[in-house]
Amino acid sequence: GAVVSQHPSWVICKSGTSVKIECRSLDFQATTMFWYRQFPKQSLMLMATSNEGSKATYEQGVEKDKFLINHASLTLSTLTVTSAHPEDSSFYICSAHRRHRNQPQHFGDGTRLSIL
C-alpha cells in the first residue's frame, strides 16, 4: 500500500487563490521530504528540499515567497502555492526519505493543480 499520502490529488481554483498541498509519510518518520514539479510530458524538476524543523532549501529559480514549504513534523510537509496564477498550473509530487534507513525515496501520487 501507499507509504506516502499526498492531498489533494486534483485541485482547480481561480487565479489569485492560495493552495496548500500536504505530503504525509504513513507509518514512518521522514526527516527529509522533496518537492518536485512536472510540466506536461516533461521530467520532474526538484523545487526544494524540506527538512523537519528547519527552513526548506530551494533550487535556483524557485521563488521562496511563491512556494512556501513547511515541515512541521516528522510525518508532514506542506507546500503552499501563494496567489496562484495560470502559469503555476502543473503536477506537483512529493517524496519522503524514511529516517534511519538507506532506502529509496517513496513518492506520493501527486497533485494536479489547475489555475483558471
Least separation in angstroms between residue 83's CB and other proteins is 26
Least separation in angstroms between residue 97's CB and other proteins is 5
Nearer to other proteins, 81 or 98 (CB): 98
Nearer to other proteins, 88 or 97 (CB): 97
Least separation in angstroms between residue 82's CB and other proteins is 23
Nearer to other proteins, 3 or 13 (CB): 3
Which bin fits 109, alpha (ψ -120 to 50), beta or left (φ > 0)? alpha
Contact set with other proteins (CB under 8 A) = 6, 31-32, 34, 41-44, 46, 49, 93, 95, 97-98, 101-110, 112
According to DSSP, residue 84 is labeled: -
The residues with which 92 forms a beta bridge, in sequence order, are 37, 111
Least separation in angstroms between residue 111's CB and other proteins is 9
Chain-centroid distance of CA 20 in Å reads 9
Nearer to other proteins, 70 or 105 (CB): 105
Q: 36-67 burial string, b = 16+ CB within 10 Å, else e?
A: bbeeeeeebeebbbbbbeeebebeeebeeeeb
Grid cell for residue 96: 519522503
